Structure 1
């Protein structure tokens, strides 16, 4: 991949592009130019805990044209999970993307609905909901579910993106605009429109964002990002409070010092206790629209992951810290990004991460960072890293690009691809 392609990849990576309807197919055109991935070692790790593909069928036993698994949390009983995602991406139909929720165990079983022995449910944002900040929009298409919080008693919070019904598409099936949504209710194919909020953020000058993605929800607050690429390409991270008044639902995330000027994302939010939350995401070089390039010291890499604490009562941010997967003499890490967050309740956070290039010679690799809370300072430790053993099951080949999109305890979901193949989504149970 040449330098121009990599700069483009970096922006898309930071923006969360790979979680948008049509994105995976568009990126395929770049992947075709890559070399065949290197083979795994002679003793590859066992694959018994990797289930791929893992998704709902489109019709009969047919997989959808494209799909994505994007969120995971614990289910209502031991060994069960709730997984969220999107199917039928950019297949030319309407809607081009449908939201999905899976309830059940992660296993190799199959039902008439799809992979796993659990239940798959299609959930789409219904029409008739006035978009906050833009009430002229009240009909929708292309639901994509990113984050989930299990409220118990059959109720969940869901967050994600949705497009206006009159959205236009480019030649790769990419929509020209997206909005964020929040849902509070049961998992059902016929959700009540009164349980939804659809939101379009505003920039500081009052103008509306073209692209909005709410990635994560926990403890009543959600986190996401917005931009207006290509005219205003810097991504702005924000917290969404569904119970606040419309004018106070959006709170932009403020980083300390010069990092606040960088492109920044928020992909995970975790409610610690009381008014304490921790946010995970990434920061990257500023994008200079006039020169159409990123600016900054590229010897330091193009993007770093971060953690940040937020107090919902005081509105203050604290304990900001960045993280980078360690470079080696043979492989310099240029991009590290946290895709979500999970906390064990006893001082340890697990962060699903995507790093680029991967230490296995791939364009990107799925990783997990383990970080502890310093009881004396209240800040965060350095990260210990694990590259997920996601070598392609049938051949042992190292995928060209792999993501770890969400994590709950020992379970992760994400996507990977071989150089000449389509993306395949996986559910992974880690034995460690």
Structure 2
């Protein structure tokens, strides 16, 4: 089938490359000529393991094309996926849908009759209906269908998630859209992947409900970690004990400095605004957002406390800046709250991240970037493990201790066993462990 992807950000680029791997002919459109030029040269503007080779293979096969010309990109499309940003709108937390609506109008004007416009972007319930209205107004002579096909990709493992998903959700309002989407995802249906077809509005709610539920699990286990510290319990064992219950499951029960990234923060806010407008308040989601915001701020104080309550003039080595490993994504990363708070407390912060330092530098201008983890640790009064990259999981502890001015280690991801750190001579602080 002929597919067009509007937007070559994280979702658009990964989805377009994976669709082409299925054998579809895919054109990825982006209005930024610099991004398109880089992609045409084989340069990948985002960090995602395996993406560079996947793009190169399908470009070489002639199944994947990049262009700035939207009209040319959609003129033969069976389906056009809108994968543009929906950031939180300043002031009210609503999802900013201006890019979605602008793309829909332009696509409807240029696409062929019987084309299906598919919202791949994360959008509030009712967006599909509004896109349908925009399409009818822009091209009343065309029979254009509008569908919802939310993505469930985890940064760092997005290709695996796309090619071997737990499920695919498709929201449709007519039989033609369902036929087209079944054809697009036929390679997955042959592998017995669960493909759920539902009303368009239902699919839109599913995406937000899923992300909000996972955010709830994170905030829940973080609060349990606080309780464990007070009563002498081990939150990792608690998480294991409740995670063995099949009704709960073990995923997203890892205590830490709070959630970040491109999805959970903005999606929980957007869902709250939708619920308020609908007159159906989501009190659990509201509490989750409040807990997470408080959590990130509290982590900086944990580091200050490890320094004896005074960070003035102290050198703090931070390992990890991205919101999670295997990505360079800095959006809503806990580091953006924790590091400025440490600097405000008088600390000199030196940081290292295997992938995110270039993206982090303009966001954290007062932070010194180090060439390696050990460069960051040199002469540090405290080390803070903030993102659990694999290369931080097996540090040479003897070398680290020799490099540091003081052997103090704050592990905000519970990577190391406490006894191992004590045996190595460190004063060690972790999350939810006595």
TM bin, normalised by shorter chain, reads under 0.3
**Larger CA Rg, structure 1 vs 2:** 2
Normalised to the residue count of structure 2, the TM-score between the two structures is: 0.26
More strand by share: 1
More helix by share: 2
Higher relative contact order (CA 8 A, sep 6+): 1
